[in-house]
Protein backbone atom coordinates (compact mmCIF):
# COMPACT_ATOMS: atom_id res chain seq x y z
CA UNK A 1 0.00 0.00 0.00
CA UNK A 2 3.08 2.29 0.11
CA UNK A 3 2.39 4.08 -3.16
CA UNK A 4 -1.32 4.67 -2.67
CA UNK A 5 -0.81 8.08 -1.06
CA UNK A 6 0.86 11.06 -2.71
CA UNK A 7 1.08 13.16 0.45
CA UNK A 8 -0.01 12.64 4.06
CA UNK A 9 -2.17 15.58 5.18
CA UNK A 10 -3.15 14.38 8.69
CA UNK A 11 -0.97 11.94 10.61
CA UNK A 12 -2.05 9.91 13.63
CA UNK A 13 -1.13 12.67 16.09
CA UNK A 14 -2.98 15.35 14.10
CA UNK A 15 -6.07 13.15 14.01
CA UNK A 16 -5.94 12.43 17.72
CA UNK A 17 -5.66 16.18 18.52
CA UNK A 18 -8.59 17.03 16.25
CA UNK A 19 -10.80 14.29 17.70
CA UNK A 20 -9.99 15.26 21.31
CA UNK A 21 -10.92 18.90 20.63
CA UNK A 22 -14.22 17.93 19.01
CA UNK A 23 -15.02 15.49 21.83
CA UNK A 24 -14.44 18.16 24.48
CA UNK A 25 -16.63 20.68 22.74
CA UNK A 26 -19.45 18.21 22.10
CA UNK A 27 -19.34 16.99 25.72
CA UNK A 28 -19.82 20.58 26.90
CA UNK A 29 -22.52 21.46 24.38
CA UNK A 30 -24.58 18.31 25.03
CA UNK A 31 -24.22 18.18 28.82
CA UNK A 32 -27.93 18.69 29.47
CA UNK A 33 -29.20 17.08 26.27
CA UNK A 34 -30.24 13.66 25.11
CA UNK A 35 -27.34 12.83 22.79
CA UNK A 36 -27.67 10.22 20.07
CA UNK A 37 -24.61 9.94 17.83
CA UNK A 38 -25.46 8.70 14.36
CA UNK A 39 -22.53 7.37 12.37
CA UNK A 40 -22.88 7.35 8.61
CA UNK A 41 -21.36 4.09 7.35
CA UNK A 42 -18.86 3.16 6.27
CA UNK A 43 -16.54 6.13 6.00
CA UNK A 44 -17.09 7.44 9.54
CA UNK A 45 -16.47 4.23 11.51
CA UNK A 46 -12.94 5.04 12.66
CA UNK A 47 -13.76 8.68 13.38
CA UNK A 48 -16.92 7.61 15.26
CA UNK A 49 -15.14 5.03 17.39
CA UNK A 50 -12.39 7.49 18.33
CA UNK A 51 -14.79 10.42 18.84
CA UNK A 52 -17.24 8.55 21.09
CA UNK A 53 -14.38 7.69 23.45
CA UNK A 54 -13.62 11.41 23.83
CA UNK A 55 -17.21 12.13 24.88
CA UNK A 56 -17.58 12.15 28.65
CA UNK A 57 -21.36 12.43 28.98
CA UNK A 58 -23.99 9.68 28.58
CA UNK A 59 -24.90 9.05 24.95
CA UNK A 60 -26.32 6.43 22.65
CA UNK A 61 -25.08 5.46 19.20
CA UNK A 62 -26.69 4.23 16.02
CA UNK A 63 -25.68 3.65 12.41
CA UNK A 64 -27.08 4.44 9.02
CA UNK A 65 -25.71 3.40 5.67
CA UNK A 66 -26.20 5.45 2.54
CA UNK A 67 -24.36 5.66 -0.72
CA UNK A 68 -24.04 8.28 -3.39
CA UNK A 69 -20.74 7.18 -4.85
CA UNK A 70 -20.64 4.21 -7.18
CA UNK A 71 -17.00 3.29 -6.83
CA UNK A 72 -15.76 6.46 -8.49
CA UNK A 73 -14.30 9.71 -7.18
CA UNK A 74 -17.32 11.95 -7.90
CA UNK A 75 -20.78 11.84 -6.34
CA UNK A 76 -23.44 10.30 -8.56
CA UNK A 77 -26.00 12.67 -7.02
CA UNK A 78 -28.21 9.70 -6.25
CA UNK A 79 -28.53 8.78 -2.56
CA UNK A 80 -29.78 5.41 -1.38
CA UNK A 81 -30.43 4.27 2.23
CA UNK A 82 -29.12 0.73 2.50
CA UNK A 83 -29.33 0.47 6.31
CA UNK A 84 -31.69 2.58 8.39
CA UNK A 85 -31.43 3.48 12.09
CA UNK A 86 -32.55 0.95 14.74
CA UNK A 87 -33.58 3.56 17.33
CA UNK A 88 -36.66 5.75 17.02
CA UNK A 89 -35.18 9.26 17.16
CA UNK A 90 -38.12 11.22 18.55
CA UNK A 91 -36.95 13.36 21.48
CA UNK A 92 -33.23 12.81 20.87
CA UNK A 93 -30.59 15.42 20.15
CA UNK A 94 -29.01 13.89 17.08
CA UNK A 95 -25.41 14.40 16.17
CA UNK A 96 -24.67 13.09 12.70
CA UNK A 97 -21.08 11.89 12.48
CA UNK A 98 -19.62 12.03 8.96
CA UNK A 99 -16.17 11.45 7.53
CA UNK A 100 -16.26 14.22 4.95
CA UNK A 101 -18.65 16.87 3.71
CA UNK A 102 -18.14 17.28 -0.02
CA UNK A 103 -21.01 18.28 -2.34
CA UNK A 104 -23.33 17.97 0.66
CA UNK A 105 -25.86 15.95 -1.34
CA UNK A 106 -25.64 12.93 0.99
CA UNK A 107 -26.11 14.88 4.22
CA UNK A 108 -28.82 17.08 2.76
CA UNK A 109 -30.80 13.95 1.95
CA UNK A 110 -30.13 12.36 5.36
CA UNK A 111 -31.08 15.51 7.29
CA UNK A 112 -34.34 15.91 5.41
CA UNK A 113 -35.23 12.26 5.97
CA UNK A 114 -34.44 12.40 9.69
CA UNK A 115 -36.13 15.77 10.34
CA UNK A 116 -39.44 14.21 9.37
CA UNK A 117 -39.08 11.79 12.33
CA UNK A 118 -39.22 14.58 14.95
CA UNK A 119 -35.90 14.49 16.75
CA UNK A 120 -35.42 17.29 19.31
CA UNK A 121 -32.48 18.66 17.31
CA UNK A 122 -30.08 17.66 14.55
CA UNK A 123 -26.47 18.80 14.21
CA UNK A 124 -23.62 17.68 12.02
CA UNK A 125 -20.09 16.79 13.04
CA UNK A 126 -17.74 16.12 10.14
CA UNK A 127 -14.09 15.24 10.42
CA UNK A 128 -13.26 16.91 7.12
CA UNK A 129 -14.88 19.65 5.06
CA UNK A 130 -14.31 20.50 1.39
CA UNK A 131 -16.38 23.74 1.27
CA UNK A 132 -15.27 24.57 -2.30
CA UNK A 133 -17.22 21.62 -3.69
CA UNK A 134 -20.53 22.28 -1.97
CA UNK A 135 -23.64 22.27 -4.14
CA UNK A 136 -26.29 21.56 -1.46
CA UNK A 137 -27.20 24.29 1.03
CA UNK A 138 -25.67 22.64 4.08
CA UNK A 139 -23.13 23.55 6.75
CA UNK A 140 -21.55 21.43 9.49
CA UNK A 141 -21.84 22.52 13.13
CA UNK A 142 -18.56 20.84 14.08
CA UNK A 143 -15.67 20.57 11.62
CA UNK A 144 -12.39 18.78 12.36
CA UNK A 145 -10.51 20.34 9.49
CA UNK A 146 -11.14 22.14 6.21
CA UNK A 147 -9.23 20.62 3.32
CA UNK A 148 -8.63 21.59 -0.32
CA UNK A 149 -10.39 19.91 -3.23
CA UNK A 150 -8.31 16.72 -3.46
CA UNK A 151 -9.39 13.10 -3.33
CA UNK A 152 -8.23 11.68 -0.04
CA UNK A 153 -8.08 8.22 1.53
CA UNK A 154 -7.41 6.61 4.91
CA UNK A 155 -8.84 6.68 8.47
CA UNK A 156 -12.13 5.26 7.15
CA UNK A 157 -12.16 7.00 3.77
CA UNK A 158 -11.94 4.76 0.74
CA UNK A 159 -11.21 4.65 -2.91
CA UNK A 160 -13.28 1.82 -4.42
CA UNK A 161 -13.79 0.37 -0.88
CA UNK A 162 -10.04 0.08 -0.27
CA UNK A 163 -7.53 2.00 1.90
CA UNK A 164 -9.98 2.63 4.79
CA UNK A 165 -7.48 0.89 7.06
CA UNK A 166 -4.67 3.43 6.61
CA UNK A 167 -4.15 4.97 10.08
CA UNK A 168 -3.55 8.44 8.56
CA UNK A 169 -5.23 10.61 5.90
CA UNK A 170 -3.50 11.33 2.63
CA UNK A 171 -4.10 12.59 -0.88
CA UNK A 172 -4.70 9.53 -3.08
CA UNK A 173 -2.08 8.90 -5.71
CA UNK A 174 -3.84 9.73 -9.03
CA UNK A 175 -2.38 6.51 -10.45
CA UNK A 176 -5.02 4.67 -8.34
CA UNK A 177 -7.95 5.98 -10.32
CA UNK A 178 -6.57 7.11 -13.68
P1 LIG B 1 -21.21 14.35 -0.72
O2 LIG B 1 -22.61 13.84 -0.85
O3 LIG B 1 -20.67 14.80 -2.05
O4 LIG B 1 -21.02 15.39 0.35
O5 LIG B 1 -20.31 13.07 -0.41
C6 LIG B 1 -20.09 12.64 0.86
C7 LIG B 1 -19.48 11.26 0.85
O8 LIG B 1 -18.64 11.06 -0.28
C9 LIG B 1 -18.58 11.12 2.06
O10 LIG B 1 -19.29 10.61 3.14
C11 LIG B 1 -17.51 10.19 1.55
O12 LIG B 1 -17.88 8.87 1.81
C13 LIG B 1 -17.44 10.42 0.06
N14 LIG B 1 -16.29 11.29 -0.28
C15 LIG B 1 -16.30 12.61 -0.60
N16 LIG B 1 -15.06 13.07 -0.83
C17 LIG B 1 -14.23 12.02 -0.65
C18 LIG B 1 -12.79 11.87 -0.72
O19 LIG B 1 -12.00 12.79 -1.00
N20 LIG B 1 -12.32 10.61 -0.46
C21 LIG B 1 -13.12 9.56 -0.13
N22 LIG B 1 -14.46 9.66 -0.04
C23 LIG B 1 -15.01 10.88 -0.30
MG1 LIG C 1 -18.59 7.27 2.02
Q: What is the CATH classification number for the domain harbouring 69? A: 3.40.50.2020
Write the DSSP symbol of residue 159.
B
Q: For 38-61, what is each residue's pLDDT tens digit?
A: 999 999 999 999 999 999 999 999
* Cα 64 to averaged position of ligand 2 atoms, centre (Å): 11
Identify the CA nearest to 77 among candidates 52, 105, 53. Answer: 105
Within a domain: residue 138? yes
68 CA closest ligand 1 atom index: 2
User: How far is the C-alpha of 40 from the C-alpha of 38, rounded, in Å?
Assistant: 6
Q: For 23-39, what is each residue's pLDDT tens digit?
A: 999 999 999 999 999 99
pLDDT at 136: 94
Q: How many domains does the chain have?
A: 1
Q: Is 102 designated active site?
A: yes
**pTM (2 d.p.):** 0.94
* Cα 37 to averaged position of ligand 1 atoms, centre (Å): 19
Domain range spanning residue 73? Answer: 13-149
Q: Over 80: is that where the pLDDT of 74 sits? A: no
- Please answer whether residues 176 and 7 qualify as being in contact, where contact means their C-beta atoms are separated by less than 8 angstroms: no
Within a domain: residue 156? no
Amino acid sequence: MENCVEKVILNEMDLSDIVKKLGNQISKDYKDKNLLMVSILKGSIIFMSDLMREINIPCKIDFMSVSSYNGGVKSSGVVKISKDLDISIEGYDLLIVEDILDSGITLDYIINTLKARNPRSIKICTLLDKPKRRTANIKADYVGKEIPDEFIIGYGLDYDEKYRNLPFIGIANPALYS
